[in-house]
Amino acid sequence: MSIQLGKLCSRIIEQHFGEVVRTVVDDMFASIAKPLSQIIRSTGLTKSEVCKSLAILIKFNMVGFSLNKARTGYEYRLNCDRIVMILRYPRYVHLIQTKFGHESAVLMEELLRSGTQCASYIIIKSMSNVDGKDNNTLALLRDKFGDLAHENYITRAPEPKPSDGSAELMELCHDIPNPFLMPELDLRILKDLHEGKPVKVPDEDVHWVVNVEQFHIDFRNTIMVTAIERLIDSNAGECMKYLLQLMRERTNPWEAVSNPIALVDLRQRCERKSQNVEMLRYLDQYISVMESNEYLSKFDTKGGGQFTVNVKRIFEQLTWACIENIIVEKYGSKAARIFRVIRIKKYVEQEDIQKEAMVPAKDAKLLTYKLLEENFLQIQTFRKPGGGNAGAPKSFFLFYVNQPQIVSMLLELSYKALYNSITRLTHDKTVNKRLIEKSQRLESIVETMKERGESDAYINEILETLTPPEQEILAKVKLRVKSLYSAEIGIDETIFMLKLYQEYQK
């Protein structure tokens, strides 16, 4: 695992869980798996502190555990990807808000905050963040929780069971017959729990976690639909959306290539679900254009034609576009043209680059070696042996592109950029903490005064306690914080796409 990823995980854990948990994470990052005794010895923390830290990390699925080979104790493994996913939590909540409404978003936010928890607890805790506080609200939250389970956005957590070798040691059972089955929740019991009465929680043994895979499937599909919309138009994007729905019904969602989808089935789905007459009229042409761009592949001609969605190929193309955009931003359009020529031609000599890319010789040489220095290009040397006493053998230097290596390098850069962004954000908030707290107090006071119906003159007099220089500093800080948050979202989207590329290349 990379150094930059380790620094990023350390920063995220420190920000959300504190110094002690960060110490444990830093120690576990350097090893594949570690027993409890080694973690205590290498961190210098007490057994109680290490156990509490591991319990927190296990609850949030950031650490996994399994029995060692001798089946006498546990070994703990760090899950770095789940730590980085903390930055994706706002996107999860926003997706649920968009699809299911405010109440579902509140439930999802509470479950993300809890890590692993039973449904009754999540529903009762969510009551304080919704508008109504009556029995109808409890029933609504219960139904919304059931909808999230039915749509696979939440799933049952693995259940502990005694190990085969030892009754004292436990193992997690991941084979749950129906992981999305909602338990029966009595509204009267939920009402008693909300009122603080001492009643037994009916589902205390059934714990739920967020099913991040379902969110990632939605994010992946959104990326593909958006790519089609930009490449062709919105009608083609809608067509792709229905194709992906059919793919989900017939294929494992993470397969690189879908099972065949008949054009007749796609047309029937579009006629049933869409009111877009133009898309239905030109459906054949949209499919042909997507096929010519290698987003779809023709599988058979029967039944009006059968097509497969080539997800692996789509993300290869999107990754190339991402790499070229980065090169344009860093080195200009000429460098991107050189990179594109080498990518298309596979192997190119220095002399041929300037001709093919139509770039002056001096610029071509400078930019080529700049890209080589930054690891966007690789060089392959071929030696032609000389005959007799003809002198030293002649060497040919060919430039080529190694996409997986570039993706790994860009992931490192992305982790570094995220770490720098979070560090800068923390610094700005710490330096201007007093000013930010003063501004928040003033906003709270003004809001209370408006509710009481105070005069505008009195409210303005209160607001003037924040001096013009302080207002100017506060405006700059807020703008910088907003920019850094936007940058974090953009970088995380890039990381998500590059990680998907790597998954499909396995």
Among candidate residues 81, 136, 131, the one with its CA nearest the CA of residue 106: 131
Kindly compute the dihedral angle of the four CA atoms of residues 352, 356, 361, 365, in this order, to the nearest 10 degrees. -70
Q: What is the structure's pLDDT at 130?
A: 80
Distance CA 416, CA 4 (A): 6
pLDDT digits (tens, 9 = 90+) for 221-264: 999 999 999 998 899 999 999 999 999 988 898 999 999 988 88
Residue in 190, 219, 45 with CA at minimum distance from that of residue 121: 190
**Cα separation, 153 vs 144, whole angstroms:** 11
Q: How many helices (H) and strands (E) does the chain have?
A: 23, 13
Strands 207-210 and 170-173: unpaired
Question: Is the CB of residue 8 less than 8 Å from the CB of residue 22?
Answer: no
> Please, what is the average pLDDT of the chain?
87
**Is residue 438 within 8 Å of 464, Cβ to Cβ?**
no
Using CA atoms, how far apart are residues 115 and 93, in angstroms rounded to an integer? 14
Q: Is the pLDDT of residue 390 over 60?
A: no
CA distances from 375 to 25, 400, 402 (A): 31, 11, 9
In a 13 Å sphere around the CA of 143, the CA atoms on its Cβ side amount to 8
pTM of the model: 0.88
pLDDT in tens, 348-384: 888 888 888 888 888 888 999 999 999 999 988 877 6
Contact 350, 437 (CB under 8 A): no
All structural domains of the chain, each given as residue ranges with its CATH number in brackets, are 3-79 (1.10.10.10), 87-210 (1.10.10.10), 215-309 (1.10.10.10), 314-383+394-401 (1.10.10.10), 406-505 (no CATH)
DSSP state letter for 85: G
| Cα distances (angstroms) measured from residue 61 to each of 112, 211, 271, 383 | 11, 11, 43, 53
The predicted structure's pLDDT at residue 111: 93
13 neighbors 29 (Cβ within 8 angstroms): no
Q: How many CA atoms lie within 13 A of 429 on its CB side?
A: 11
pLDDT exceeds 60 at position 389: no
pLDDT in tens, 62-73: 998 888 887 788
Question: For residues 23 and 45, is the Cβ–Cβ distance under 8 A?
Answer: yes
Rg (CA), the chain: 28
Which 3 state secondary structure label does DSSP give 173?
strand
414-430 residue pLDDT tens: 999 999 999 999 888 88
Amino acid at 104: S
Give the per-residue pLDDT at 1.
Answer: 60
Are 10 and 30 a contacting pair, CB within 8 Å?
no
**CA-to-CA distance for 47 and 38, rounded, in angstroms?**
11
Q: What is the predicted pLDDT for the residue at 176?
A: 82
- Looking at residue 17, its pLDDT comes to 92
Which of 262, 258, 235, 257 lies closest to 247 in space, CA to CA? 258
Residue 132 has a pLDDT of: 66
pLDDT in tens, 103-138: 999 999 999 999 899 988 898 888 887 876 666 888
Residue 167 has pLDDT above 70, yes or no: no
